[in-house]
Amino acid sequence: MKPSDMRNLSGSDFAREIESRKKELMELRFQAAMGNLAQPHRVTQLRREVAQLNTIRREQALANLKGEQA
């Protein structure tokens, strides 16, 4: 998912997307521990997407707070 697509998500969608990526990341870690990891680059990709989602969610929260204070 591109960051531009992430910016169009609602609050509940952010939580759902983050949880689904964390769940997939956990499954990939188990596969890596067992030695059956078919796509090792996917771990890095998921970690990056979770970080991007958290960053965009935080940016939007700060923008909302700043808008309320003005």
pLDDT tens digits along 13-64: 989 999 999 999 999 999 999 999 999 999 999 999 999 999 999 999 999 9
- Domain at 3-69, CATH from 1.10.287.310, 3.30.559.10, 1.10.10.10, 3.40.120.10: 1.10.287.310
Amino acid at 62: L
- Run of H or E including 18: helix 11-34
pTM (two decimals): 0.85
Q: By C-alpha distance, which of 60, 42, 65, 61 is closest to 3?
A: 60
pLDDT tens digits along 39-51: 999 999 999 999 9
